[in-house]
Structure 1
């Protein structure tokens, strides 16, 4: 197939669909090459095993998704997604204390990942110059070494030429292997967390009053390694997801039967979730997904990066999913790509290098925030950032203050939802509150 202002996207997951949306305004033809077969509804798919577990779309991600797909949020609600007040309907036990609950004026949508992804795909299919090719495995990148240009992709039986290739295939991407083979040096920041995700859906009794739509019980590191969340989703179902750092989840025990899962939930720091599901009706099998490490591939630092290639989403950075920021990062990257395409219209060859630098600026503060928490466990292996102990001390006091101080929690919620930079937690009034709180606690101990 010849290239006539064509963009090819490797991978039709969330990141691939987002890329297709923004590229459709700038390329005559956008081709999505997806390994999986075409889905017939909002169901989990083989190529996204993490899709059966709880996902969150943070405020910045939800706002960005609506910007890219106007009206999609209402489509979510019309088909059963749950709209909640983010600070009233969330009960969150964190570092040994319940967060304060108040009306902060924020809303969040609760739904399964397959439900969200299905609606995004239906929107994409209505864009006339975007086409899906399912059951397609990309085997290699086509490279013009003389021009240092990616010019397409090679499948088993045919090749596709393109002016731009976007790799959205995920953490085990073709691009990272290809770069190593070609001798391009890619710096990788890797942190070993040995995380297990275990999920199951339930039907809960309706004769019980609940003052929450989602309840989160986080572990208090380093003593506690297991946490869990129960969340209402579409179809009047509840999804329960357990997380366990450093192999704290016994895979055999949790997968053997329904009682194995429920007994594991009983081991959480609090019994709240166990009490909800001990007599509930299981609706699905137990799903297990392991994340041995998180990784950030620094394409922004590659010297002489080949033209014609953009790497996006988990292909660049797989973040710790416990913090629920992965999909929102992908949306922020898509919005950044959209701005760069508009800025360099007519000079689209300038977009890849500019995009990877912009993506690094999006990822960097989130990565540092996440590894600060992951490194509370001595078993976590990875490069420690400068001033780690001070960052951890300050963050822990923010967490604890969030159980009683509405201003602090409100600022923390905005940072966690990627609406405000982490520096907003350093304003004088919050620093003062942290110091008074820490001094008061030190006198009591």
Structure 2
């Protein structure tokens, strides 16, 4: 088989589809291996239990998705996804204050993950050199030990036989419990990783809310104010004129078994949020769905770029590399940025694709990981490697959050960082530093109880 004949993608989720879209321009044949059955519509699937919960595609993710799939944003909207003004239609209670609301001039799309995945999949099926193999499970890698190279996979389709598929490139997009990690560990190859225990539980339910003239938002976030508060929630409009309510609890604060008993238990849990806004929206409304639960006991960043003996012919992407705290809604957008990075490297015919790709992925993840764990470590129960200068970073970030309740410029800058379109360094602009110092000085004058 000559170079660039075939690429195999392990996992047909978002990151797998993104990887397949990119490599389809550079390989004659692309095969996506997916455990689940072929979807029959925009419905939750067994292999993505997190899909029944609220997801967000940040600005960087939405912009990148449009580059990879031209016109897909219009298809989202024409099939029911909700287009909102990012800073005007979002009501956000964060660290004890409401963010200032104004027209920032940019938009966000609200939709369920199954709706997003379905449209991506339909686009993929129009690419002639891409094939899906549903109901297939990867059993092992085919390995050329002499060359230290992955040259294919063994797959099981539920029959009595295992078939071998050879490839020039294998991309593992199968998620946090990937074959690659266990395969490398069995061969005595250690993967440096950062792991932070957060004990997070997600519980979600769909509702049909009556129209209300008082509802001046399309999505409302009520975040806990750590370390005292551990329970938060979001209510968001999605396609089908529905609303998804997702309640979260850090460090096992939520008794999931109790909440799953009946609908009223979910309603009661919403009363424990810092604000009762979500409770008042759903307390008298019959739900459209059962309560779904998803647990994230820890987040992990596997630093494959540090593995010297990583076999050639293998790339890792998405949650296979890093599962981030989903409360911040960055996972899918990180996968989009990784796919765009892979596209650029393939276009430039970069030397040593594997090594270069994994190093660049690390540069994407590193600042986001740091930004997330700064918040996770506000809880003393959080365990793992703490970033340098944690106390200072938490102090500065807290001031940014509080100033975002009154200063449009600071909130607008924060929104750009949060949406991964600008680096976090813009929050160190002299104009912002001056406001932080001014607020700190004012707080000291007023006393410890002042915000």
Q: Deviations over 1:259-302 (max 9, x none)?
A: 01000001101000000000112001000000000000000100
Give the equivalent residue in structure 2 for 1:61: 61
Name the SS for the 2:375 alignment partner.
helix
Matches for 1:231-246 after TM superposition, within 5 Å: 231-246=236-251
- Is 1:230 matched up with 2:235? yes
Asked if the contact 1:192–1:382 (Cα under 8 Å) also holds between the matched residues in 2, the reply is yes
- Pick one of 271, 283, 289 that aligns with 1:284: 289
Name the SS for the 1:8 alignment partner.
strand
Determine the C-alpha separation between the residues in 2 that align with 1:401 and 1:369: 18
Determine the C-alpha separation between the residues in 2 that align with 1:3 and 1:135: 28
Give the equivalent residue in structure 1 for 2:93: 93
Deviation (angstroms), 1:3: 8.6
CA RMSD of aligned residues (A): 1.1
Determine the C-alpha separation between the residues in 2 that align with 1:442 and 1:115: 49
- Pick one of 203, 209, 216 that aligns with 1:211: 216
- Pick one of 317, 322, 330 that aligns with 1:312: 317
Asked if the contact 1:149–1:308 (Cα under 8 Å) also holds between the matched residues in 2, the reply is yes
Give the equivalent residue in structure 2 for 1:132: 132
Give the equivalent residue in structure 2 for 1:269: 274
Asked if the contact 2:191–2:302 (Cα under 8 Å) also holds between the matched residues in 1, the reply is yes
Give the equivalent residue in structure 2 for 1:19: 19
Distance of aligned partners of 1:4 and 1:71 in 2 relative to their CA distance in 1, 3 Å threshold: closer
Asked if the contact 1:217–1:228 (Cα under 8 Å) also holds between the matched residues in 2, the reply is yes
Deviation (angstroms), 1:207: 4.1
Give the equivalent residue in structure 1 for 2:107: 107
Deviation (angstroms), 1:155: 1.5
Determine the C-alpha separation between the residues in 2 that align with 1:280 and 1:353: 53
Deviation (angstroms), 1:145: 0.8
Give the equivalent residue in structure 1 for 2:159: none
Length-normalised TM-score, structure 1: 0.98
Deviation (angstroms), 1:135: 0.2
Asked if the contact 2:226–2:378 (Cα under 8 Å) also holds between the matched residues in 1, the reply is yes
Length-normalised TM-score, structure 2: 0.97
- Pick one of 347, 372, 377 that aligns with 1:342: 347
Distance of aligned partners of 1:40 and 1:3 in 2 relative to their CA distance in 1, 3 Å threshold: farther
Name the SS for the 1:138 alignment partner.
strand
Give the equivalent residue in structure 2 for 1:182: 187
Determine the C-alpha separation between the residues in 1 that align with 2:203 and 2:255: 10
Asked if the contact 1:2–1:162 (Cα under 8 Å) also holds between the matched residues in 2, the reply is no
Deviation (angstroms), 1:184: 1.4
Give the equivalent residue in structure 2 for 1:359: 361
Asked if the contact 1:3–1:162 (Cα under 8 Å) also holds between the matched residues in 2, the reply is no
Name the SS for the 2:153 alignment partner.
strand
Name the SS for the 1:235 alignment partner.
helix
Q: Deviations over 1:147-197 (max 9, x none)?
A: 010000011310110000000000000000011011112101000000000
Give the equivalent residue in structure 2 for 1:35: 35
Give the equivalent residue in structure 2 for 1:44: 44
Name the SS for the 2:405 alignment partner.
coil
Determine the C-alpha separation between the residues in 2 that align with 1:64 and 1:380: 33
Distance of aligned partners of 1:207 and 1:365 in 2 relative to their CA distance in 1, 3 Å threshold: closer
Determine the C-alpha separation between the residues in 1 that align with 2:4 and 2:207: 50
Asked if the contact 2:4–2:26 (Cα under 8 Å) also holds between the matched residues in 1, the reply is no
Deviation (angstroms), 1:111: 0.2
Determine the C-alpha separation between the residues in 1 that align with 2:244 and 2:346: 39
Determine the C-alpha separation between the residues in 2 that align with 1:114 and 1:25: 25
Give the equivalent residue in structure 2 for 1:422: 424
Asked if the contact 2:12–2:32 (Cα under 8 Å) also holds between the matched residues in 1, the reply is yes
Q: Deviations over 1:389-434 (max 9, x none)?
A: 0000000000000000111101000000001000110010000000
Name the SS for the 1:155 alignment partner.
strand
Determine the C-alpha separation between the residues in 1 that align with 2:280 and 2:46: 32
Q: Which runs of 4+ in 1 moved over 2 A?
A: 1-4
Determine the C-alpha separation between the residues in 2 that align with 1:207 and 1:216: 18
Q: Deviations over 1:4-32 (max 9, x none)?
A: 71000000000000000000000000000
Name the SS for the 1:195 alignment partner.
strand
Asked if the contact 1:15–1:168 (Cα under 8 Å) also holds between the matched residues in 2, the reply is yes
Determine the C-alpha separation between the residues in 1 that align with 2:130 and 2:338: 20
Deviation (angstroms), 1:209: 3.2
Q: Deviations over 1:355-389 (max 9, x none)?
A: 10000000000000000000000000011111000
Deviation (angstroms), 1:2: 10
Determine the C-alpha separation between the residues in 2 that align with 1:288 and 1:439: 44
Determine the C-alpha separation between the residues in 2 that align with 1:131 and 1:351: 24
Q: Compare 320-329 and 336-345 and name the one that shifted more.
A: 336-345
